[in-house]
Every structure is written in C-alpha cells, then in structure tokens.
Amino acid sequence: MVVVGAGMAGVQTAVALRERGFQGTVTVIGAEPHQPYDRPPLSKAVLLGKAEGSAFEVDFEALGIELRLGREALGVRPDAHELDTEAGPVPYDVLVLATGAEPIRLPGTEGVPGVHLLRTLDDAERLRPVLARQHDIVVVGAGWIGAEFATAAREAGCAVTVVEAADRPLAGALPAEVAAPMTSWYADAGADLRTHARVVRVEPGEVVLDDGSRVPAGAVVVGIGARPATAWLAGSGIQLGAHGEVVADERLHTSAPDVYAVGDCASFPSGRYGERLMVHHWDNALQGPRTVAAAVLGETSAVYDPVPYFWSEQFGRFVQYAGHHKSADTTLWRGDPSGPAWSVCWLRENRLVALLAVGRPRDLAQGRRLIDAGTEMNPDLLADPARPLKAA
Ligand code: FAD
C-alpha cells in the first residue's frame, strides 16, 4: 500500500488499514518535511503561540507505517503500477491519493514580500511573529480561513481590515440571510470589514483597493479558497473533475485500477444528496479513509455517503455545520441571530438536510443524527429553540 500525502487523509488511511488488520507494507509519502500534523489548530492555537505544533499523536513505528517525508510525488503510471517521486519510482499494489488542497494565490502577489497564505505549519510559523509584532494586517477574503485569521489577529492586538469582493462574509458557503448576522461579528471584534472591495495592488506597507483607497498593511494574508493539489497527476490518465479534483466513485476508487482518492483532493458521488461533492473539511479527511481501508480489504458494502460536517471558531463563537443544502431548500431559524446562540435548519420535503449551529452544539449533534436518518420533521416544533431538535 502506498499513500501519497501525509496530511489527515493520508495518515488516517494508513491507520485505518492497520486497525482493520491489513498485514502488508504501508508507506506514506509526503512533500512536507515535518512530522505529519493537523491543520485546524494552525489558524487557532498554533498561530497565537498557545500551542507549539499540532503533530498527530500516532505511533507510526509501532503501527508499522513507513513515513517518507520531504518527498514529492511527481506522477503516476497506472499501467506499470508505479508512482514517480523525487527519489525515484515507487511500485505499488494499491495507491491512495491524499494530496489535499493548496491555497489560491492572489494574482500578481507571487513573491511579493509581506503577502502570506495560511495552509501549512511553515505558513503559521511565518505568521506568528507577524501577529506578535502587532502589524496592521489586511486579510483578503472573508471566508472560513479569513474569519479565523482575523479573529487571531485581533486577539493578538493587530489592526485588521478584511477585504471581501462579495457583499457579505462566507458568500460562497451560506445564503445572504444566514451570513447577514455574521457581518456584525467583524465590527464587534474591532475588525474593519470592507465588502464589495478588491485588492488591485500590494505596495510596500499598504494595499490599494479597486475604489482607489489605500489601507495600511504591514502584512497581507490571503484566504480566497483552495483547490485540489493534483497538478502532478497531469498525464497519468486519472480522471480529474472541473475543479481539478480526482473523480472518485462511491467507494473512493478512481478511474485507474487499484488507485483510490480521499480527502480534500477528491470528489465523490453523494447518494444522500444526489450530486457529486467535494468537501474541504477535516471530518471528510477522517471518515473517507475508513471507506478506503474497507474497500481495499474487499468489504463490498463499504460505500462513502457521509453527512458532511465541519466547525469553525471565529470571533469568540463556535460555528458548526452539518449536511449540504441548496438554495431551493426551506430555511428555518431557531433562536435570535443577533444573540450569541442560534441555529438555522434547511428542510427538503420536511426532512432536515443541513443545519448551521452558532453556539448550539447540542442542536448540531441532534441535527446531524436526524439528517443521517432522514427523519420527517414538524417545522412548527423545529422553530422553537427551547425544544430539543427531534422528530415530530
Ligand atoms: P492536506 O491536509 O492538505 O494534506 C495533504 C498533504 O499532501 C500535504 O501535507 C501536502 O504537502 C501533501 N502533498 C501535496 N502534493 C503532494 C505531492 N505531489 N507529493 C507528496 N505530498 C504531497 N476543517 C474543519 O472542518 N474545521 C476547521 O476548523 C478547519 N480549520 C482549518 C484551518 C486551516 C489553517 C486549514 C488550512 C484547514 C482547516 N480545515 C478545517 C480543513 C482541514 O484541515 C482539511 O480539510 C484537511 O486538512 C484535509 O486533509 P487532507 O489530508 O485531505 O489534505
């Protein structure tokens, strides 16, 4: 077994194989030189220096998992069952692609000093002293990463301006009415959110916006999304989708024999939601590997059809989302969105398909189960935040 990518999905695949009794060799090849680590703490405790690192607590040696770190995979030749790496070809019986995603760069800022991304431990370590020096910071993008970085930068005492091209935060993830209450979170935390704004140029010490205004910027942090890290698969014949993701089937098998794909680099057909999903969240990199391990070991019932889940910690709030909604789904509120704790439910034919919980982890836990079960709900009872989330 050869796994490419030593992030959450790659490591969990190796661990899941051993947990299920796989006896063969397991080799994990990763481009980063560091001991494999978890990414969510990078925009939280690690950034603020509250945690030194976030290495996975996995005893690779005891599990018989060989790590080859600091080594990039350069290509796959499925017919030969060989992976090409910087250190030469590696033969495989079964290959798992788990190369994750890489952040999208702001055009024109490559190599410009003071412009940062936040994806890796190295990125977080470069940003830590920037926060400690309390620079003026411009965050580009009010998505999940932008909001978490802005939170940490305010906590560190930096002046923070967030520049967002859309009319609201999280425009790509949430409908306008749900994101609306989040706009005030920025101001409440002392961050200046500029919507309908784009950075046109980064100059020493400031950024120039498309309305001609100039914002002081000791550092710029770009959080405008991520795309699957799959450029290295060009020419392999392995099918990639519209976003460059590896197209996997319901067992996370790719178009090439004996090659699977899991985590941020892949998409899979969701039977539950009737569409192909590409999920860039931690829980997907935990659950998907269990399906891969089961499939590799020949368990034909292993089908990947999760209720996607993620969380975000921003501006002192714990935000959680489970499921997947579409604009046609009915939105139903539980609680007052101007308060500290509220939830939004999305219903399709009276069944819960998704739920966003702000400071209501119990709603999330109960809602996730109801989504999974496809239970029919009574919308009138659901809207009462004092009632536990449960079937009619
Ligand atoms: P990755 O973690 O990206 O790992 C892929 C690994 O493959 C990388 O180490 C990469 O270097 C390596 N690689 C790439 N190409 C090659 C190659 N050619 N050869 C060898 N190795 C290669 N999700 C949440 O649900 N909640 C959160 O609060 C949250 N916070 C986050 C905060 C930050 C700062 C970031 C960046 C992400 C956060 N996420 C969060 C998302 C979550 O961390 C990812 O979904 C998860 O890391 C995906 O795991 P992965 O293994 O698929 O990919």
Are 92 and 235 contained in the same domain?
A: yes
Sheet holding 266-270: strands in order across?
Answer: 246-247, 266-270, 275-277
- Ligand 1 centroid from CA 61, angstroms: 23
Q: Share the mean pLDDT of the chain.
A: 96
pLDDT at 261: 98
**For residue 278, is it within any domain?**
yes
- Ligand 1 centroid from CA 263, angstroms: 8
pLDDT at 52: 85
**For residue 267, is it within any domain?**
yes
pLDDT at 234: 97
pLDDT at 16: 98
- Ligand 1 centroid from CA 234, angstroms: 20
Are 96 and 230 contained in the same domain?
A: yes
- Note down the domain range covering 11: 2-102+226-296
Whether the predicted pLDDT of 65 surpasses 90: yes
- Paired strand residues for 260: 96, 253
Are 98 and 109 contained in the same domain?
A: no
Ligand 1 atom with the smallest distance to the CA of 9 is: 51
- Binned at pLDDT 50, 70 and 90, residue 323 comes out as very high
**For residue 256, is it within any domain?**
yes
Are 321 and 183 contained in the same domain?
A: no
Are 109 and 203 contained in the same domain?
A: yes
**For residue 13, is it within any domain?**
yes
- Paired strand residues for 266: 246
**Rounded CA gap, 199 and 37, in Å?**
32
Whether the predicted pLDDT of 377 surpasses 80: yes
Q: What is the CATH number of the domain that holds 57?
A: 3.50.50.60
**For residue 179, is it within any domain?**
yes
**For residue 262, is it within any domain?**
yes
Best probe residue, ligand 1, of 222, 268, 281 (max atoms within 8 Å of C-beta) = 281
Are 330 and 365 contained in the same domain?
A: yes
The 3-state secondary structure of the chain, one letter per residue? CEEECCCHHHHHHHHHHHHCCCCCCEEEEECCCCCCECCHHHHCCCCCCCCCCCECCCCHHHHCEEEEECCCEEEEEHHHCEEEECCEEEECCCEEECCCEEECCCCCCCCCCCEECCCCHHHHHHHHHHHHCCCEEEEECCCHHHHHHHHHHHHCCCEEEEECCCCCCCCCCCCHHHHHHHHHHHHHCCCEEECCCCEEEEECCEEEECCCCEEECCEEEECCCEEECCHHHCCCCCCECCCCCEECCCCCECCCCCEEECHHHEEEEECCCCEEECCCCHHHHHHHHHHHHHHHCCCCCCCCCCCCEEEEEECCEEEEEEECCCCCCEEEEECCCCCCCEEEEEEECCEEEEEEEECCHHHHHHHHHHHHHCCECCHHHHCCCCCCCCCC
Instruction: Answer yes or no: are the C-beta atoms of 293 and 20 closer than 8 Å.
Output: yes
The strand pair at 73-77 and 82-85 is best described as antiparallel
Are 166 and 214 contained in the same domain?
A: yes
Show which of 179, 195, 222 is a domain's final residue: 222
102 burial (CB, 10 Å; 0-12 / 13-18 / 19+) is: middle
Domain count, the chain: 3
Whether the predicted pLDDT of 46 surpasses 80: yes
Q: Is the CB of 318 under 6 A from ligand 1?
A: no
pLDDT at 156: 95
**For residue 387, is it within any domain?**
no
Q: Is the CB of 84 under 6 A from ligand 1?
A: no
- Binned at pLDDT 50, 70 and 90, residue 207 comes out as very high
Show which of 188, 222, 256 is a domain's final residue: 222
Q: Is the CB of 72 under 6 A from ligand 1?
A: yes
Which two tokens mark 318? 């714990």
388 burial (CB, 10 Å; 0-12 / 13-18 / 19+) is: exposed
Are 111 and 163 contained in the same domain?
A: yes
Q: Scanning the structure block, which residue is given the tokens 């749900």?
A: 178
Type and span of the H or E element at 368: helix 361-373
Are 86 and 233 contained in the same domain?
A: yes
**Rounded CA gap, 126 and 118, in Å?**
9
pLDDT digits (tens, 9 = 90+) for 106-122: 999 988 999 999 999 99
- Binned at pLDDT 50, 70 and 90, residue 300 comes out as confident
Are 232 and 185 contained in the same domain?
A: no
**Rounded CA gap, 300 and 191, in Å?**
51
Instruction: Name the closest-CA residue to atom 1, ligand 1.
Output: 100
Are 336 and 188 contained in the same domain?
A: no
pLDDT at 22: 97
Whether the predicted pLDDT of 7 surpasses 90: yes
Question: What does the pLDDT average to over 229-236?
Answer: 98
pLDDT digits (tens, 9 = 90+) for 129-143: 999 998 899 999 999
pLDDT at 50: 92
Q: What is the CATH number of the domain that holds 371?
A: 3.30.390.30
Phi first, then psi, for residue 294 (nearest 5°) are: -65, -40
pLDDT at 362: 97
Q: Which amino acid is at 38?
A: D
Q: Is the dihedral of CA 260, 263, 266, 269 positive or negative?
A: positive
Question: What does the pLDDT average to over 308-314?
Answer: 97
Predicted TM-score (pTM) of this structure: 0.97
Are 292 and 340 contained in the same domain?
A: no
**Rounded CA gap, 165 and 141, in Å?**
7
- Binned at pLDDT 50, 70 and 90, residue 390 comes out as confident
**Rounded CA gap, 72 and 45, in Å?**
28
Instruction: Answer yes or no: are the C-beta atoms of 36 and 30 closer than 8 Å.
Output: yes
The strand pair at 351-358 and 317-323 is best described as antiparallel
Instruction: Name the closest-CA residue to atom 18, ligand 1.
Output: 73
pLDDT digits (tens, 9 = 90+) for 277-288: 999 999 999 999
Type and span of the H or E element at 332: strand 330-334
- Ligand 1 centroid from CA 384, angstroms: 38
Question: What does the pLDDT average to over 332-352?
Answer: 96
CA dihedral in degrees (61, 125, 158, 207; nearest 10)? -130
pLDDT at 126: 96
Show which of 222, 250, 270 is a domain's final residue: 222
pLDDT at 123: 97
**For residue 390, is it within any domain?**
no
pLDDT at 359: 98
pLDDT at 166: 97
Question: What does the pLDDT average to over 214-221?
Answer: 97
